[in-house]
Amino acid sequence: MRKAVLFILCGFPLLLQAQINNYWSYNFNEESSLVAGAVVGGGAGASAIFYNPAIISEINVSKLSLNASLFAYEINNAKEALGENFDMQSTRFYAIPRSVSYMHKPRNHPNWNLEFAYLNVVNTQFGSVNNIEKNVDILTYQPGTELYNAYVDLQTDIRTDFFGAGGSIKLSEKWFVGSSMFVSVNSKYSSYQLDINASPVNATFNETTYYNAQHQTQEMMKFNDYRLLWKFGVFYKQPRFSAGLNITTPSVGGIYSDGKKVMRKQGQNNITNPDTGEPMQNFLTVDYAEKKQMSVTAKSPLAIAVGCTYSSTDDKRKLYATMEYFAGIDSYRMVEVTEDDNLGVGSILENEDFSEWLTYIDGANPVFNVAIGYRSYLKENLTLLAGFKTDFNYKIKTEPGKANIGKSIKSNDVNYYHLTGGLTLRIRGQDITTGLQYTLGMNNQAKQIVNLSRPVEFNFEEMRALQGTRTNTVKTLYNSFTLLLAASFNLYGNENKPE
């Protein structure tokens, strides 16, 4: 039976999902998920290896744990993401398993506890395809109006998986320490295509004078980066109160990377300088690199978390609280390539710096999140769980210069607020947990991906043809409902049974 369970669990991680550019969007195991992850000071259960490895010492028996978000339904509406009255909308219904862990209590070393785990920390798949068509007078020196057609295709797939091992030791009846080490696999894929055409409304393909102005941009980036990081925890425990500290190191890279590909293309045709009436140069600039031609890295920050747990006098109710600070990460080159010195020769962009044409930049602002949780033992085998946590977006808002607009992964950056609630039922020493998570996301000042509502023949501010200047006017509202299901299998009997 145990082999069958392990076989089934090994296939689950392939379906995981989560939000991008947010540190606290994950859910791990039945004990921490529904109290909003407020478990650095106790009660982490099978997720102790992640939240505070010193808490691994709380287990009394070896345990196999699976956490699964059975179903999730999300509604995402980004108003004016492509320009005034041009929104990006999407809905999704999907399944999301989360984590698998095994906690081991050695019989010959009662003060030691070990844990091995697979955890999915980030996994987002976002896709949007839009086509905009309208009549507009955009070609300054062409008579009448033009048929303006813009095609936008944005695809993003970001994922981070942790494979780790950890342990804790009991120093005394009140003090515990622990540490864990993870191999993080950071997989990133991003593609963006923008194709804009403007032609006189009355023109036909049979006319020899048919005129079509065009702008095209295409970007693609893909890689896997393998890194190491460590967690160090301290846990203090009394009968009604406990507290914990967890320090997560910045990740260390340079171990291995694969699947590396990057491409960027930009071009224009039949564009006239709106100020002088002189034809601007037609050009197409393309470069591509892969494998050893490029170097990649995906950094994660130093993080410090503190938490506490307080129990009522009858021990039937518990309050949890956790705070975590994530340090900032200065802008760095996530993808770096040695460019061709002659890449821009002969084009309108000849005077621009092409030394970083294929560069992708990343970084993060400092973030401070808080979580609170509540547990109430309703009956001997039935427990109520609830929680709330913030999940602020860390994405750096500043951008490179005019010629480097496409240097970061395009995303819809949102602050999230998670509200959870559910029940745990114990049946013959095994725990089954089910509950619901509601997530609200908001951002009223995000920057447009492209401005197609007020296009001009050539935008000198952003050095782009047939589009307007982007503004910070995107209003995003995100709603998500997730049905959670988790199960723990105590492999050697009832967890509450004395050793």
Ranges of each domain in the chain? 2-490
Question: By the 8 A CB rule, do 437 and 418 touch?
Answer: yes
pLDDT at position 257 is 96
CATH topology of domain 2-490: Porin (2.40.160)
By CB neighbour count within 10 A (0-12 exposed, 13-18 middle, 19+ buried), where does 263 fall? middle
Which residues 6+ apart lie within 8 Å of 332 measured at CB?
297, 299, 361, 362, 363
State the Cα–Cα distance between residues 450 and 278, nearest whole angstrom.
26
pLDDT at position 20 is 74
Closest by CA position to 486, among listed 8, 26, 66, 1: 66
pLDDT at position 26 is 81
Handedness of CA 390, 233, 325, 184 (dihedral sign): negative
pLDDT at position 123 is 76
Handedness of CA 248, 19, 224, 341 (dihedral sign): negative
Closest by CA position to 29, among listed 64, 53, 62, 65: 65
Q: Which pair of tokens denotes residue 267?
A: 């071009």
CA atoms within 13 A on the CB side of 453: 14
Tokens 């996994």 identify what position? 123
Q: What is the identity of the amino acid at 249?
A: T
pLDDT at position 346 is 60
Query: Which parts of 13-96 fold into alpha helices (H)?
Result: 29-33, 48-51
pLDDT at position 338 is 83
pLDDT along the chain (499 residues), means of 10: 35 40 81 90 92 91 71 82 85 71 87 93 82 93 91 92 96 96 96 95 62 94 97 96 98 92 94 91 90 94 98 95 97 88 62 78 95 94 95 73 63 90 84 88 88 93 92 90 74 46
Q: Which pair of tokens denotes residue 74?
A: 């999300």
pLDDT at position 484 is 79
pLDDT at position 124 is 80
State the Cα–Cα distance between residues 129 and 236, nearest whole angstrom.
52
Q: Which pair of tokens denotes residue 122?
A: 């980030």
pLDDT at position 400 is 45
Closest by CA position to 421, among listed 17, 9, 35, 22: 35
State the CB neighbour count (10 A cutoff) for residue 458.
Answer: 22
Burial call 405-421: b when 16+ CB within 10 Å, e when fewer: bbbbbbbbbbbbebebb
Q: Which pair of tokens denotes residue 375?
A: 């547990």
CA atoms within 13 A on the CB side of 58: 26
